[in-house]
Amino acid sequence: MMKFDTVIIGGGLAGLTCGIRLAKAGQRCAIISSGQSALHFSSGSLDLLNVLPDGTEVDNPLEAVKQMPTLAPSHPYAKIGAERFADLAADAVELLTGAGVAVVGEAVKNHYRLTPVGGLKRTWLSFKGYVTSDKGDALPWKSVALFNAEGFLDFYTQFLSDEMRKMGTECKVHTFNLPALEAIRQNPTEMRSANIARIFDSEETLNQLAEIISREMGDAEAVLLPAVLGVDCRDGVAKLEKRLSRKVAVIATLPPSVPGLQVQTLLRRYFQELGGVYLLGDTATGYKSEGDNITSVYTHNHGDIALKADNYVLATGSYFSQGLVATNGTVVEPLFGVDVAYDKDRNNWYERDMFTAQPYEKFGIETNADFQALRGGKSVNNLYAIGAGLMGFNAVKEGCGAGVSMLTAINVADRILSKR
Ligand SMILES: Cc1cc2nc3c(=O)[nH]c(=O)nc-3n(C[C@H](O)[C@H](O)[C@H](O)COP(=O)(O)OP(=O)(O)OC[C@H]3O[C@@H](n4cnc5c(N)ncnc54)[C@H](O)[C@@H]3O)c2cc1C
């Protein structure tokens, strides 16, 4: 038997945020984490609230969230409330900074990030070094030099340069080749973002890149590159900027997202430094309960060794991470079998127009106002649900994915701490 104060199931953004908050307050926590999280697909930005459920675009999330109880009473933000929302958003930034994740942006004013296909989209926080803008229709520069690694197909220079030109930024595309790239180019399937990023962990390779850029960038105001400037090395942008004496910024590539992987690693390390136990590559497979309490959780790797805790947090994500599973006519939460809100008529799950909000996105785990999960309509005393698996919001349409995950995580951690 292993005993903890809190066991968290799921080690993505929500689970790690919750674990860090609890471990920082002195709790002994374990996170069971079976695999990849949505962070591995991160755009390089964390969204808080970009669009209200009625379609109104949001410039100031702190102001807009006040409408949530009226527009969408079951939205996680409606449960949190506008006042606490502001505090939690500030706490989330502090937590990221503590973990060594450098971000720009603020909850009182969304900024814009450049998408991999050259559009500008609202967001809350962007990882430092990414292309961002204060305006939704223009970049901060009149001319840029856009560089890509020769043969790297997960970065669309043509789209990017066309879209930038439409926004009034002259964009010249360059490709670069390096000895270290030759090795991975032997096999075209190896030309993926994470593999390319690894070569820039070497100072020598970064210097070689700086030399090429310096020769070719001309008088462009800024140098833009795909987000592949190192895995362990996280200051590739700053180093290049210093060497080139020019503004340098990166743009998201297709997954895997190198900055997303870096953030996942930084958060995990921070959690472990705080004394947390991270069971990497393990899957929670079962549980025992007594009355309205969960008494233990079992995992694939630990067999019949029980993980016991005073509180349990379900942070297993949505369909994407199998925190929710859709079968023929039902949507279930597969571990505890807690209540899931969904339309019983399968015909209502999808909209024909794939660009409109899809009803199934809002299906998810039902909770009370404290995010305690429900079974048969009754709350389970010591089981909380957080993150992407919750009901009542559409992370894609509303642009609120990271915000819901981080804010519900901190909210629940504080709720657990207040129980003592
Ligand atoms: C492809 C994709 C890209 C996204 N990009 C962005 C973005 O750029 N910006 C943004 O703001 N939002 C984005 N989102 C929204 C995203 O949902 C949130 O930002 C957030 O990262 C979700 O975190 P989470 O921890 O709630 O869930 P997840 O990231 O899904 O993590 C859940 C974790 O639980 C694990 N798990 C599941 N079942 C078990 C089990 N039984 N035992 C142990 N572990 C288990 C999974 O393996 C997974 O690691 C994206 C979502 C997706 C699907």
pLDDT at 185: 83
pLDDT at 284: 98
Structural fold of domain 2-59+69-101+261-418: FAD/NAD(P)-binding domain (3.50.50)
- Residue 358 has a pLDDT of 73
Query: What's the confidence (pLDDT) of residue 183?
Result: 83
Q: What's the 13 CA to ligand 1 centre distance in angstroms? A: 7
Closest atom of ligand 1 relative to the 334 alpha carbon: 41
Nearest protein CA to atom 51 of ligand 1, as residue: 38
pLDDT of residue 173: 98
Q: Looking at residue 134, what is its pLDDT?
A: 97
Distance 317 CA to ligand 1 centre (A): 5
List the single range of 30-44, 108-122, 186-200 with lowest mean pLDDT: 186-200
Q: Spell out the domain ranges in the chain.
A: 2-59+69-101+261-418, 131-251
Please determine, for residue 329, whether its predicted confidence score (pLDDT) is greater than 90. no
Q: What is the pLDDT of residue 403?
A: 98
Is residue 177 predicted with pLDDT exceeding 90?
yes
Mean pLDDT across the chain? 95
CATH architecture of 131-251: 3-Layer(aba) Sandwich (3.40)
Asked if residue 353 has pLDDT above 80, the reply is no
SS (H, E, C) the chain: CEEEEEEEECCCHHHHHHHHHHHHCCCCEEEEECCCCHHHHCCCEECCCCECCCCCECCCHHHHHHHHHHHCCCCHHHHHCHHHHHHHHHHHHHHHHHCCCCEECECCECEEEECCCCCEEEECEEECCECEECCCCCCCCCEEEEEEECCCCCCCHHHHHHHHHHCCCEEEEEEECCHHHHHHHCCHHHCCHHHHHHHCCCHHHHHHHHHHHHHHCCCCCEEEEECCCCCCCCCHHHHHHHHHCCEEEEECCCCCCHHHHHHHHHHHHHHHHCCCEEEECCCEEEEEEECCEEEEEEECCCCCCCEEEEEEEECCCCHHHCCCEECCCCEECCCCCCCEECCCCHHHCCCCCCCCCCHHHHCEECECCCCEEEECCEEEEEEEECHHHECCCCHHHHCCHHHHHHHHHHHHHHHHHHCC
Average pLDDT over residues 95-115: 97
Q: Is 344 a residue whose pLDDT tops 90?
A: no
Ligand 1 centroid to residue 284 C-alpha, Å: 16
Mean pLDDT of 173-193: 88
Ligand 1 center to 31 CA (angstroms): 14
395 CA: nearest ligand 1 atom: 15
Which protein residues touch ligand 1 with a CB less than 6 Å away?
9-15, 32-39, 41-43, 45-47, 283-284, 315-317, 320-323, 335, 387-388, 395, 401-402, 405
pLDDT higher than threshold 90 for residue 328: no
**Residue bearing the CA closest to ligand 1, atom 23:** 13
Lowest mean pLDDT among 71-75, 256-260, 263-267, 282-286: 256-260
pLDDT of residue 191: 86
Among 99-103, 203-207, 245-249, 353-357, the minimum mean pLDDT is found in: 353-357
pTM of the predicted protein model: 0.96
Q: Whose CA is nearest to atom 9 of ligand 1?
A: 46
